[in-house]
Structure 1
């Protein structure tokens, strides 16, 4: 869809469908709706309209028990954009939307797939994996189960009719970028300022656990070391090799970790991998063995997890799902 000029001030609102499934992520809903709502407010006109839709219609609950009243996907839509929210389960049947998505793209509408919705699309279109992205948690599932090593690690990928996005906080960046195609830069800057979103991140920005350093210690060698650890979660590097690639001695690296982070390189690396393992455990349906392999624990994962968190991975998963 070609961007309109701000001076055109089209009388017809830009119509957006927001497609949800049970257990949808409230952060992503707000990331879409609040950007559109604020854009309308700052423009002092109804630039955007939106409708909540689901497979069967009716009330749909989020993972945090917030509820929206939806219209059935079977009812005709004239939307210019369709946002499909994730719901922490890429295997959820309501995310199998092949024919629905084709209906939108055939009408020249653009489809934005967030997190698990993107993951489901990538799994269904395996040959297109390199053209799309999803949340890093879901990328780990695609990697372990389908061998899709080439799925991108960016916040979002614009492939024309289909935009895939990591979801969560990146939803705001994508929605701001889309709204900016229809409104002035000044208007969108004001919207971003209201959201305390200091800048619209470029789609190519890498996600945490996907190559971007999540830690700035003030020590360049230490930051380089942490980046190497983050980039090598599944197949951990020996600390001696990390030190060599960082350009310092192993002993010097150990002193830096102790001085700045109050831990050892091995301890930090293991904590980093266990943190990712815990996220996968609580937010995906990957098996315990798959999670261990994805996080660099080819054996003994359950024992290491229990020693760290005080319960087995299975117990932690059961406890997490009762909350």
Structure 2
């Protein structure tokens, strides 16, 4: 049975400078197409920020917003991610409670979800966030073990990995108010072939990763991802997988056009990139956390063309540039 909410359904979108454009566009375009498909205004929406005015995303695009309402009346409220887990504008416990008091469904995406998790003090399986943010929560010592699902609903707040999973989340929301055929049409217009369920694991953080359809190769990548701080030797990997080193090398060259060692090293360097930009860990500690007890800065510069310190100093500024 569809929810008996009188149309139009009000959707508030809360954002701050540095918001994730992918998430905003997923929400707006799917709601807009839903109205088009049904030939009526099922949904209406408004963009809000703490003080109102133009808000700029990481891609350098400005969006006009209105100030937060002290007494909201929306049916749904989305809080967008920010790309900066420390952005003070993401601390919205007061606003979240106001929306809950008004009976709205509160939906927190990526960094907004991780900020809520950090401020409530514990990671639980009833909350999720983007795997990059989960890594930051773990590094900062937030207790507990959280979910790597795309979306988690604890009955009061919906948390999500955000990014591309926002499409799946909004399509599920549409399913509460539109016919199955209408939702399928919206998905078809977006060329979104498969609507993933909330419980679907994130492609990186998920423990049942499928990248290639090659069982041994997928298991190898999973083992690599699970052992970034203390990397396994290739001999240990093949022993766990039950294949030869030559076979593993052939699989990597066929599917990824690289060697197992090079792939593993790049995974660890990419993780180091995330920690440098999203934590206050020292460069040495980042290197250790990614399995580089020696020579980390040189390897990082060779791969990214910039030193770890330069990346940390200029990373946020570069993210705003074209």
TM-score, scaled to structure 1: 0.89
Give CA deviations for 1:261-295 in whole Å, capped at 9, x if unaligned.
Answer: 4433222211122123234445x244334543443
2:15 matches 1:4: no
Q: 1:22 aligns with which of 11, 17, 34?
A: 17
* 1:155-304 matched pairs, under 5 angstroms: 155-210=150-205, 211-213=207-209, 215-216=211-212, 219-258=214-253, 261-282=256-277, 284-287=278-281, 288-304=283-299
Q: Counterpart of 1:76?
A: 71
Q: How far apart are residue 206 of structure 1 and its match?
A: 1.6
1:311 and 2:311 equivalent? no
How far does the alpha carbon of each residue in 1:128-149 deviate from its partner, in whole angstroms, 9 at most, with x for none? 5332111111111100012445
For 2:250 and 2:73, how far apart are their aligned partners in 1? 62
Report how many aligned residue pairs link the two structures: 316
Range with greater deviation from structure 2 (173-182 or 120-129): 120-129
The residue number in structure 2 matching 1:66 is 61
CA offset digits 1:122-168 (Å, max 9, x no partner): 00012353321111111111000124450211111111120101111
Cα pair 2:123 2:144 within 8 Å, conserved: no
Match in the other structure for 1:52? 47
Indicate how the Cα distance of structure 1 residues 60 and 252 shifts in structure 2: closer, same or farther if over 3 A, else same. closer
The 3 A distance-change label for structure 1 pair 280 and 33 is farther
Q: Does 1:43 align with 2:38?
A: yes
Alpha-carbon distance between aligned partners in 1 of 2:48 and 2:37, rounded to the nearest angstrom = 26
TM-score by length of structure 2 reads 0.90
Aligned counterpart for 1:99 among listed residues 87, 94, 103: 94
User: Map of 1:120-139 to 2, 5 A cutoff?
Assistant: 120-139=115-134
Instruction: Tell me if the contact between 1:89 and 1:285 (Cα under 8 Å) persists in the aligned partners.
Output: no
- The DSSP-based 3-state class of the residue aligned with 2:45 is strand
Q: Does 1:145 align with 2:143?
A: no
User: Is the Cα–Cα contact under 8 Å of residues 109 and 161 in structure 1 kept in the other structure?
Assistant: no
- Deviation per CA, 1:237-257: give whole Å up to 9, x if none: 222221122111334323443
Deviates more, 1:82-91 or 1:11-20: 11-20
Contact 1:108 1:161 in 2 (8 A): no
Task: Measure the CA separation in 1 of the matches of 2:202 and 2:241.
Answer: 22
Q: Is the 8 A contact 2:71 2:98 kept in 1?
A: no
152 and 13 in structure 1: CA distance in 2 versus 1, 3 angstrom threshold = same
TM-superposed CA distance for 1:182, in Å, is 0.8
- 1:279 & 1:253 partners in 2: Cα distance? 28
Measured in 1, the distance between the counterparts of 2:203 and 2:104 equals 31
Query: Using a 3 Å threshold, how does the CA distance of structure 1 residues 237 and 230 change in structure 2: closer, same or farther?
Result: same
CA distance in 2, matches of 1:169, 1:219: 24
Question: 1:88 aligns to what SS in structure 2?
Answer: coil
After superposition, what is the alpha-carbon deviation per residue over 1:87-138, rounded to whole angstroms, capped at 9, x for unaligned?
A: 1112111111111101111222110000110010000012353321111111
